[in-house]
Amino acid sequence: MKKYFLYGVMFVGLVLWTAGCNGSGVQNSGGELKIVPRPVSVKTLNTFFALKENTVIRLQSEDDAVYDAAEYLQNMLQEKTGQQLEILPAGGRPDSRIVLRQVNGDEEIGNEGYRLKVAEDELVIIGNSAAGIFYGVQTLRQMLTKTDENSWGAPGAEIVDAPRFSWRGMHLDVGRSFFSVSFIKKYIDLIAMHKMNTFHWHLTEDHGWRIEIKKYPLLTEVGAYRDESLIGHYRDQPRTYDGKRYGGFYTQEEVKEVVEYARKRFVNVVPEIEMPGHSRAALAAYPELSCTGGPHSVAKLWGVHEEIFCAGNDKTFTVLEDVMTEVLALFPSEFIHVGGDEAPKKRWEACEKCQRRIKDNGLKDEHELQSYFIKHFDKFLDERGRRLIGWDEILEGGLAAGATVMSWRGTEGGITAANAGHDVVMTPTTHVYFDYYQSEDQENEPLAIGGFLPLDKVYSFDPVPENIAEDKKHHILGAQGNVWTEYITTPEAVEYMALPRMTALSEVVWTTEEGRDFDNFRKRLDNFLLLLKDNGYTYRQP
């Protein structure tokens, strides 16, 4: 029997819990506020800020993005308390106010950090950027306390906080399992709640092409749907299928809607368009882009497939450039992910066009042909002011000059790339693949791809390995949790597999190495789980 800890699926805007008027619900017995991820510095004060009828939100900034943070706070408070605080510009001194103040040059908190002070008649959040102020709002929502049936407030404190890494991400594969726009927004809310700032949206796969490309409509008319899906695990024999056509895709208007929703929550959406492998859905739509000419079908069996974009065909590059042009118009992200992983070379080895490309360009082998392929799109993106990022296989055959590596097959690829002067995002299977089992008692867990990744192992991860040269460590941008969905088919299952491992990762990428302590995290996690419960999230009870 598969056991899920289900607490409903409706998302509520503000995450709060009930506690006594002294704020004891958000403090450990030692006085530390139960904030996740753990702030850099916390000083508790013997004061309490109570929301009153005349409480307002005061903006001390002319940045429109700070107004977005204010609206976010306003909506959260109204959702939970029923009280709508007025947002006012700087000036005037009402008896009770929440101040959002933007400053310049506070080096201690950096670009995404914040200062938060809770006094009796004033609650102030300060940041150099709107993002920093927003993360202060996220801390505030964990501090808010119900004092009686109709009253809310926050315990006195002075907090100074800033993230350790600039890339704090979560990934979601929608190629194997498709999820609605409403759930994608809920997932982005979860990312923001954890003070993470990157949503890696894996949009194309062998098993489904999920983004509308107007110049090539067959990518979604054909490539977005497979005939049926596997029942049970890949290892099960004999394999059986459900006989049900499956798929879906996001229109360009829906993509714009998601990107704007994320922007207002200070989450950058990084799209992934797989190349040259994991491309069977695209080749089913346009078989002339393959080495064999097809026909091809959208894959229904999980795993790595031999079909691959033909690197000897000029039309392949033309079509993918057209695709990327439309993608760039939809996503303002500096980084664009091109995959580059698990690209079998069998078709290239037997393809006359690919072999001619190897010979004409003085390439040594098919690995260098893949490097040629990736370098082409690195140049394409660079000319348009963007940066290419790909899985660590893009190292094979030579790395493109401006490429950033996402290291998934352990950390070795990331170490090699960083020591060579390339930026790196660490995302190894050993610590951040959230499609792995959370317990060794697999019979009582949802079906998963395999592996075992408990909460404490996620928390133990250090994205900066020791064998990176000291002067190269700045190339580690951060880390990311990955959710692959061969066996994760519902929103509840995504949440269950991600939570609370995502919560542990949020502290890995935010909190200083010296500030991390798993026993202390577990004490604070209990309240964060109540936060998840109150908001209808599905999670695994540790």
Residues 65-81 have pLDDT tens digits of 999 999 999 999 998 78
Q: What is the pLDDT of residue 79?
A: 85
Both 233 and 274 in a single domain?
yes
Alpha-carbon gap, residue 266 to 283, rounded angstroms: 35
Both 21 and 152 in a single domain?
yes
Q: What is the pLDDT of residue 10?
A: 28
8, pLDDT greater than 60 = no
Q: What is the pLDDT of residue 95?
A: 76
Residue 205 bridge partners (DSSP): 208
124-153 average pLDDT score? 93
- Does residue 44 lie in a domain region? yes
Other Cβ atoms less than 10 A from the Cβ of 319: the count is 20
- Does residue 32 lie in a domain region? yes
Q: Residues 397-446: pLDDT tens digits?
A: 999 999 999 999 999 999 999 999 999 999 999 999 999 999 999 999 99
Alpha-carbon gap, residue 211 to 437, rounded angstroms: 30
Q: What is the pLDDT of residue 23?
A: 36
64, pLDDT greater than 60 = yes
82-86 average pLDDT score? 91
- Does residue 196 lie in a domain region? yes
- Under 8 Å between Cβ of 160 and 108: yes
CATH of the domain at 187: 3.20.20.80
Angle, helix 366-382 to helix 314-330, in steps of 10 degrees: 40
Both 111 and 154 in a single domain?
yes
Evaluate the CA torsion angle 250, 255, 261, 262 in order and state its sign. Answer: positive
User: What does the mean pLDDT of the chain come to?
Assistant: 93
- Does residue 383 lie in a domain region? yes
Boundary-marking domain end, from 161, 182, 208 = 161
32, pLDDT greater than 80 = no
247-271 average pLDDT score? 98
Q: What is the pLDDT of residue 31?
A: 61
Q: What is the pLDDT of residue 27?
A: 64
205, pLDDT greater than 80 = yes
235-250 average pLDDT score? 98
Residue 207 corresponds to which amino acid?
H
- Domain range enclosing 200: 167-510
Q: How many domains does the chain have?
A: 2
Alpha-carbon gap, residue 191 to 193, rounded angstroms: 5
Q: Would you state the structure tokens that stand for residue 499, as one six-digit string?
A: 């939570």
CATH of the domain at 81: 3.30.379.10
Q: What is the pLDDT of residue 96?
A: 86
Q: What is the pLDDT of residue 535?
A: 83
Considering the entire predicted model, what is its pTM? Answer: 0.94
Both 144 and 195 in a single domain?
no
Evaluate the CA torsion angle 132, 138, 143, 149 in order and state its sign. Answer: positive
- Under 8 Å between Cβ of 54 and 162: no
Both 150 and 215 in a single domain?
no
Alpha-carbon gap, residue 115 to 126, rounded angstroms: 5
Other Cβ atoms less than 10 A from the Cβ of 237: the count is 8
Both 389 and 301 in a single domain?
yes
Boundary-marking domain end, from 161, 195, 227 = 161
24, pLDDT greater than 60 = no
Please report which helix (H) or strand (E) contains residue 117, including its range: strand 114-118
Boundary-marking domain end, from 127, 161, 195 = 161
Both 371 and 269 in a single domain?
yes
347, pLDDT greater than 60 = yes
- Does residue 224 lie in a domain region? yes
Residue % of the chain over a pLDDT of 70: 94
- Under 8 Å between Cβ of 270 and 328: no
- Does residue 278 lie in a domain region? yes
Alpha-carbon gap, residue 152 to 83, rounded angstroms: 10
410 burial (CB, 10 Å; 0-12 / 13-18 / 19+) is middle
Both 155 and 172 in a single domain?
no
Q: What is the pLDDT of residue 1?
A: 30
Both 199 and 57 in a single domain?
no
Both 496 and 394 in a single domain?
yes
- Does residue 403 lie in a domain region? yes
pLDDT band with cut points at 50, 70 and 90 for residue 364: very high
Other Cβ atoms less than 10 A from the Cβ of 341: the count is 17
- Under 8 Å between Cβ of 480 and 198: yes
Alpha-carbon gap, residue 61 to 72, rounded angstroms: 16
Q: Residues 308-333: pLDDT tens digits?
A: 999 999 999 999 999 999 999 999 99
Please report which helix (H) or strand (E) contains residue 274, including its range: strand 268-275
Alpha-carbon gap, residue 14 to 154, rounded angstroms: 14
User: Looking at residue 30, what DSSP letter applies?
Assistant: T
- Does residue 541 lie in a domain region? no
156, pLDDT greater than 90 = yes
91, pLDDT greater than 70 = yes
531, pLDDT greater than 90 = no
Alpha-carbon gap, residue 439 to 437, rounded angstroms: 6
Both 140 and 173 in a single domain?
no
Both 94 and 230 in a single domain?
no
9, pLDDT greater than 70 = no
